[in-house]
Amino acid sequence: MESVLSLVENSFLILYNSLMLKIAVGTTSKSKIKCLNEVLEEISLGAVFYPTNVESGVSSQPKKRNQKRLFNWSLQKGMIKRV
């Protein structure tokens, strides 16, 4: 089966596969990962998490639109490599 790539929010990347759901999370924050896990449990969706600390080349709080786009793209590209 082919995987379908779906971008969710700015720092979540979800790869759908018929066998398993893999989620690369653009953070290593335990509280954010716990929150995501609780949401997925509420909707009865099991998953494997891949917390990642990806260098984006942009400040942690980008203010300009082009910086935000670069940040999102760099983060997502880095997460894909880790999954």
Summarised one tens digit per residue, pLDDT across range 38-50 is 887 787 777 777 8
Long-range contacts of 32-36 (CB under 8 A, 24+ apart): 36/12
* Site of tokens 């979540």: 12
Q: Global pTM?
A: 0.43
Helix residue spans in the chain (DSSP H):
30-42, 65-82
How much is the pLDDT for 4? Answer: 41
How much is the pLDDT for 77? Answer: 60
Label residue 76 by pLDDT band (50, 70, 90).
low
Regarding beta strands 48-51 and 22-25, do their DSSP bridges make them parallel or antiparallel, or are they unpaired? parallel
**Which of these, 60, 56, 20, lies nearest to 40 by C-alpha position?**
20
Average pLDDT score over residue span 1-5: 39
How much is the pLDDT for 8? Answer: 45
